[in-house]
A and B are shown apart, each in its own frame.
Chain A
Amino acid sequence: MKTYIYIIATFLILVLISSCEKNADIDIPDNEPQLVVAAFISPQDDTISLKVSMSHPIYYSSGSVQLNYDEVTAVVSSGGINHNLTFDNQRLTFFSDKVQFNTGDNLKLDVSYRGEKVTSECTIITEPVYDFEYLGSETKTYKDGYSEGIHKFKITCNNGNDINYYRLNSNFYMHNYWYSNYYESDLYEFAKGETRTIEIRGDHDLQADSMRVYIINCDEHYYLYHKNLGNSYEKGPFTEPIIMYNNVEGGLGIFSSYNMQLEKYEINK
């Protein structure tokens, strides 16, 4: 009887945990390397910086695809003027200096490499128009004993579009030295005239005495791309995959514009 029970138990355990694996016998999704580009254009900058790389196919590839930068051609054109970008070996970035773009300029990006060609377009966005008010700071202590500084601001968006895409970024300073960054989600959709109270965190040890807040009005491409990017790291086996925003025809990546203002505040604890 005992033997019988053991046999059944072993069988059941084997059945319950039995699973077999094999190479999938199905059509794999298209698997060719693609050009990846990234550029964020601001009218406040006199340079264009462009990152170019190649994607690495996952299946049936035997290593990463190395890009020969010398064979890459990158051009940003606007109003009939072409800006040829050159490669900076130190920053591993294509760039062009002494450029000046204005609000409303339409820009086109063309990048080619060994017969592959990608294109994208964007329009220089207007500057952020807002009312900004520092409401003060407070310390929040959670039930598990963790404390952090929370700095509250009221911001009203006065840009003219029905939907405006804002990004708020900040640095904390102690005795005029950089101390820490604000890493949390910092992207907001504002309706015309909408006011929000925003909490900025990241002052972990409550030692910062001043902060800089970068207020950005960005285009929709910039906004959607960064929204995806903020979630892109794996958070567990059950999370929905991040489908990265892409506005590059023939390849992957982003070509977008932003317009930034800086506000500085002393922290009142």
Chain B
Amino acid sequence: MKYIITIIILFLGLSAFSQAKDITISGYVREKASDELLIGVNIYIKGTQIGTISNSYGFYSLSIPVQEAKIVFSYVGYEPIIMAQTFDKDSVINVYLESNTDLSEVEVYGDRDEKIADKAVMSVVSVPVKQVRDIPALLGEKDVFKVLQLMPGIRGGSEASSGLYVRGGGPDQNLVILDDAVVYNAMHLFGFFSVFNGDAIKSIELYKGGFPARFGGRLSSVIDMSLKDGNRKEFGGEASIGLLSSRLLLEGPIIKNKSSFIISGRRSYVDVLAAPIIASMEDGGSTAGYYFYDLNAKANYEISDKDKLYLSGYFGRDKFYSHDSWEDQSSDAILFWENATGTFRWNHQFSNKLFSNTSFVFSNYQFVIDLEEEDGDDFSHLRYKSGIRDLGIKTDLTWVPNNKHYIRYGGAITNHLFTPSAIVYEQKGFDTELNAKELNSIETSAYIEDEWRAFDRFKVNMGLRLSNFNYNAKSYFDLEPRILASYMLTDLLSIKASYAQMSQYVHLLTSTGIGLPTDLWVPSTDRVGPQKSKQFALGMAKDFEDPNFSLSVEAYYKTMTDIISYKEGASFMMVGDPTSSEEFNYEDAVTIGKGYSTGIEVLLQRKFGKLTGWIGYTLSLTKYQFDELNNGKEFFPRHDRRHDFSIVGIYKLNEKITLSATWIYGTGDAVSLAKSTYTAYGHSPSGVGSSYSGQGLSHFSSYHTNHYGEKNSFRMAAYHRLDVGAQFKKKLKKGRERVIEVSLYNAYSRQNPFYYYTGYDHNTKQTVLKQVSLFPILPGVSYYLKF
């Protein structure tokens, strides 16, 4: 293996330098109205296969072998620019694309615009942010993750949950990155909403396979999001009022054409609205409430044409609180969890072929319970805290030596500080600190990848990632090869194949299938090593010219080893029990196993025209095996879903009205249900636990036990739901726009099962299985204003 990798690297090196002298065109692509840098713009020489795309910072570099060329800059939703001219030397061309707000009028230019057949990527989900806004949502709350769940290969957790399960992997196996910073536990309100509403998001890409070497650290997916930079030309903003929360976004120049900012905030107001009711019910002696808020902010400064600085951050918090008071006694309870990320980035352009970005990254997640009681002169105070804090630096370089190679390389080092549980207890005359154990670890990585256009119709993206994790004296090291090949059978049809190995050094302890703040991040240790996966994918991509559809079909097979799960009978309550007198190591609560997932995914998509949207279908099978679960036999994890179907339609009736609908169908979750109860007899060697205790007699001890059959052998009822929405837009004076949106979540009020329990039917006088459903038909209304 080492020899093969060495040969490939040598070959690439020789190949990269062996090209004839080309002319290099480079620069930045921006949106004309706001100067916002555009990511993923297609830049190519018309009539050839030579082309590139703008990177995450809007930079592009294209080597052209001819002096006369027609260079096309095209991006969906924007008017394309064709530059036909003679180039006699390397040139810097900064391009400004003009937004075409009415996608139905977009003319598809040439043979490239948004075509998927000629891209050397696969297993990537790219959702236009504009579509996130158009799709109907629960209570009108736009949610990036819930849109991703509508794509094949990705499913949510239980009803309305924002959790993601990608190609058979668990919610712990997704890397969520916002401007290079990892976001942990990215959920509001116990997972009903993700922390990303899309207002300040510029781009969203989810990789579920065919991972480029620049990404690593999780087994199943990478969700890479970038915040907008902010309008460099004029001040503006957006405001929205909904049933659950309201949002406000402001952006504008700090120094015109040089520096800009964007700030976006959201807050729920159930607590504010409910406060008078609670106060009237409790005669003012008690208060209680819940709220969440989040805040995105970013500022940038262009030092020179070659250097740019960015400072961005996210802060979000969910908080429950209550206060009771009577006579001289009072009690206060607070439960909150919060995420904070910060990224300072420096873009530097060394030459027209070499671009770099260096990021200093901070991320912090904490979950806190604070209980305080006062009774006259006595008081007690308990504070429980768990969390994870990251500090890191990473550098990524993009080198475009010629039009056959697009090379990326770089490295990162991150310090993870885990606090599984820290407890402080104070009482009058007594205070103590329990389990205040911090686990310090260092994760490092380095990578190189090359998107190589070997022939006109054949592209390969090959790369290698080296990763290392150190915790105490234990050090893990791994080589993760990645390769993706794409061959164009015709101009509109290609076949693709990929292989990727991934390692994951941090683990999430979760057992509920919903996003609880108690989900706990922990490091690999000497007892619990890193999780690993290998994934093969094979697919085809087909573009249709008229109408403008694209079709992709992919089959994948993924193996996962050293994955972790709670042992039978264990839960997070054991790990973080504030009343426990013993130090508890999470390793004692988990067991290590393996799994595999295989499936076929079909996606028929239309990104522009009067009618846009997609139809997705997934046929998949996922099985896990743990020596200590289900008596060592294979079982379906809860999120195994045989069939998953989604249809999303957005129809622009005219300039003022947009209609949208989504319908989803999924096989029910695999769960364990007790079929019967019985008395299980255990052997009591010395009479321990029986009436013969101490007599030295072997005896039976009895336990009341449930019989479940095999683990997760029961299927919940199938899940299906229709959401519909309508947006009424109106252009106002001075370029303002307002949108009123009405929506219906679960339009035909399907009672989807949230969970089952054993209940009693008073009519039949029998024990029955009861189903609890969460959301019936729910209307949503929101008012949006752009100014």
Residues of A within 8 A of B (CB): 2, 5-6, 8-13, 15-16, 18-26, 28-31, 33-34, 36, 38, 40, 42, 45, 49, 51, 53-62, 93, 142-144, 146, 167, 169-171, 173, 177-179, 181-183, 212, 214, 216, 222, 224-229, 231-233, 235-236, 238-246, 252-254, 258, 260, 262
Contact = CB atoms under 8 A, between A and B. Distances in A.
Contacts of B677: 55-56, 58
A12 B681 contact: no
B698 interface: yes
B371 interface: no
Interface of B: 139, 243-244, 270, 273-274, 276-277, 432-434, 511-512, 565-574, 581-582, 628-632, 672-686, 688-689, 693-696, 698, 700, 703, 705-711, 713-717, 751, 753-754, 756, 758-759, 761, 764-776, 778
B274 A9 contact: yes
Given A19-B774, A144-B432, A12 B678 contact: no
Contacts of B573: 235-236, 238-239
Contacts of B629: 240, 243
A185 to B, nearest CB: 10
Contacts of A238: 511-512, 571-573
Contacts of A236: 571, 573
Given A169-B686, A212-B696, A252-B678, A243 B631 contact: yes
A61 B766 contact: yes
The 10 closest A-B pairs by CB, nearest first: A178-B694, A231-B569, A9-B273, A38-B681, A55-B678, A24-B771, A40-B683, A55-B676, A238-B571, A142-B581
A2 B688 CA distance: 66
A243 B672 CA distance: 9
Contact of A240 (B568, B753, B767, B773): B568
B717 A29 contact: no
B685 A29 contact: no
B772 A21 contact: yes
B767 A61 contact: yes
B721 to A, nearest CB: 15
Contact of A42 (B698, B715, B768, B776): B698
A12 B772 contact: no
A146 B680 CA distance: 33
Contacts of B571: 235-236, 238-240
24 contacts: A2-B276, A5-B276, A8-B243, A8-B273, A12-B244, A15-B139, A15-B243, A18-B774, A21-B773, A22-B770, A23-B769, A26-B769, A29-B709, A30-B709, A36-B678, A36-B680, A38-B681, A45-B698, A56-B677, A59-B758, A60-B764, A60-B768, A144-B432, A240-B570
A40 B699 CA distance: 9
B25 to A, nearest CB: 55
A144 to B, nearest CB: 5
B511 A239 contact: yes
B270 A12 contact: yes
A170 B685 CA distance: 9
Given A23-B771, A235-B569, A244-B680, A143 B434 contact: yes
A240 B700 contact: no
Contact of B270 (A13, A170, A222): A13
A24 B769 CA distance: 6
A22 B715 CA distance: 17
Contacts of B753: 24
A253 B711 CA distance: 17
Given A9-B277, A21-B771, A58-B758, A53 B679 contact: yes
Contact of B765 (A62, A214, A227): A62
Contacts of A13: 270, 274, 277
Contacts of B770: 21-24
A51 B681 contact: yes
B685 A59 contact: no
A178 B754 CA distance: 50
B698 A178 contact: no
A243 B679 contact: no
Contacts of A34: 676, 678, 707
B581 A146 contact: yes
A33 B676 contact: yes
Contacts of B689: 181, 183
B713 A258 contact: no
B569 A59 contact: no
B707 A244 contact: yes
A56 B676 contact: yes
Contacts of A177: 694
Nearest to A240: B568
B675 A243 contact: no
A24 B679 CA distance: 27
Nearest to A38: B681
A113 B573 CA distance: 43
Nearest to A233: B703
Contacts of A245: 631
A121 B693 CA distance: 29
B274 A29 contact: no
B171 to A, nearest CB: 15
B432 A143 contact: yes
Given A6-B276, A177-B694, A238-B571, 15 more contacts: A9-B274, A12-B243, A12-B270, A18-B774, A21-B770, A38-B680, A38-B681, A56-B676, A226-B683, A229-B680, A229-B682, A229-B705, A232-B680, A241-B672, A244-B680
A215 to B, nearest CB: 9
Interface centre among A19, A182, A231, A260 (most CB of B within 10 A): A19
Contacts of A214: 685-686
Contact of B686 (A16, A45, A171, A252): A171
A31 B776 contact: no
A10 B568 CA distance: 41
B708 A240 contact: no
B432 A56 contact: no
B756 A24 contact: yes
Contacts of B673: 29
Contact of B683 (A15, A57, A143, A258): A258
A179 B684 CA distance: 17
B769 A28 contact: yes
Contact of A19 (B433, B715, B772): B772
A8 B761 CA distance: 35
Contacts of B696: 171, 212, 262
A244 B569 CA distance: 11
Nearest to B518: A238
Contacts of B706: 241-242
Contacts of B686: 169-171, 181, 212, 214
Interface centre among A146, A222, A243 (most CB of B within 10 A): A243
Contacts of B683: 40, 222, 226, 258
Given A169-B686, A171-B688, A253 B277 contact: no
Nearest to B771: A24
Given A9-B277, A38-B700, A58-B767, A243 B581 contact: no
Given A23-B770, A23-B771, A143-B434, A240 B567 contact: yes
A169 B772 CA distance: 44
B87 to A, nearest CB: 61
Nearest to B633: A243
A30 B362 CA distance: 53
A23 B766 CA distance: 11
A25 B718 CA distance: 11
A79 to B, nearest CB: 23
A256 B751 CA distance: 46
A232 B703 contact: yes
Contacts of A29: 673, 675, 709, 713-714
B693 A171 contact: yes
A144 B581 contact: yes
Contacts of A55: 676-678, 707
A58 B244 contact: no
Contacts of B682: 38, 225-226, 229
A40 B675 contact: no
B89 to A, nearest CB: 64
